[in-house]
């Protein structure tokens, strides 16, 4: 029972004691990963950037500071109303200035125009999506051809959570998500170990391509 409750809160934190504890866990244990995810994206000052499943907003804050040109714009998406509100408070100055826009919605149905995003990043996120292919296709839809998508995780921790049945049986596996990315039109899909200071983590990289383009991928 506790596994089911914890998995539900990790997937969709609510305004509750357990949801509050999950938010504290995400801030404490994901901060370094979020910051380093932003770094490896290579965000440029005038780009349009999207974070999926932004949670408490640590990654949003880190990315927003890099978008220093007037054309720079950051978009955040999260399915949890609780996380949406928490992140909104964390980046409220950027929201007020128009630099950041937050959407409380499903990754698989984002209120964004086609081919408008240069970079996409997300951290410890995809294995909570009910339909990986539908979500990956939606991410591909909003990205400009040639745009970079990066997702990161601590694979040992994720594998441990899966062994406890806190995560779904198979969708946590990187190769499952990578296959969904390829099927959705991404190319150059690969996973690499990254080392930043004392932190070792895994990053999946993928490049958006028009649907009629040729796809090639490496693992």
Summarize pLDDT for 42-59 with one digit per residue, the tens: 999 999 999 999 989 999
- pLDDT of 167 > 70? The answer is no
Domain residue limits at 26? 2-207
Q: Give the tokens for residue 86.
A: 């928490």
Total domains in the fold of the chain:
1
Whether 135 maps to a domain, the answer reads yes
- If we measure between CA atoms, which residue out of 112, 117, 113, 102 comes closest to residue 60? 102
| Helix, coil or strand: residue 11 | helix
Tell me, what's the pLDDT at 217?
Answer: 38
Report residue 29 as tokens: 């244990």
Query: Measured between alpha carbons, how far is 200 from 196 in angstroms, rounded to an integer?
Result: 7
- Token pair of 23 as six digits: 């938010």
In a domain, residue 217? The reply is no
For residue 213, is it within any domain?
Answer: no
Does a structural domain hold residue 32? yes
73-113, pLDDT tens digit by residue? 999 999 989 889 999 999 999 999 999 999 999 999 999 99
Residues 114-141, mean pLDDT to the nearest whole number: 94
CATH number of the domain that 93 lies in?
Answer: 3.40.50.150
- Alpha carbon 161 to chain centroid, angstroms: 18
């Amino acid at each position: 029972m506790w596994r089911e409750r914890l998995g539900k809160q990790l997937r969709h934190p609510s305004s509750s004691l357990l949801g509050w504890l999950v938010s504290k866990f995400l801030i404490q244990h994901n901060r370094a990963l979020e910051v380093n995810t932003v770094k490896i994206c290579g965000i440029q000052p005038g780009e349009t950037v999207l974070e999926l499943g932004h949670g408490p907003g640590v990654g949003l804050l880190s990315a927003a500071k890099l978008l220093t040109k007037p054309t720079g714009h950051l978009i955040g998406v999260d399915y949890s109303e609780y996380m949406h509100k928490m992140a909104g408070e964390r980046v409220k100055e950027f929201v007020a200035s128009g630099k950041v826009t937050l959407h409380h919605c499903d990754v698989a149905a984002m209120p964004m125009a086609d081919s408008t995003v240069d970079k996409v990043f997300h951290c410890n996120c995809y294995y909570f999506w009910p339909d990986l292919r539908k979500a990956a296709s939606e991410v591909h839809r909003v990205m400009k051809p040639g745009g970079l998508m990066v997702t990161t995780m601590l694979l040992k921790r994720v594998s441990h959570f899966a062994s406890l049945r806190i995560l779904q049986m198979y969708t946590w596996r990187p190769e499952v998500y990578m296959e969904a990315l390829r099927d959705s039109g991404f190319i150059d899909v690969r996973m690499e170990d990254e080392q930043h200071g004392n932190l070792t983590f895994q990053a999946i990289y993928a490049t958006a391509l028009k649907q009629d383009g040729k796809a090639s991928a490496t693992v």
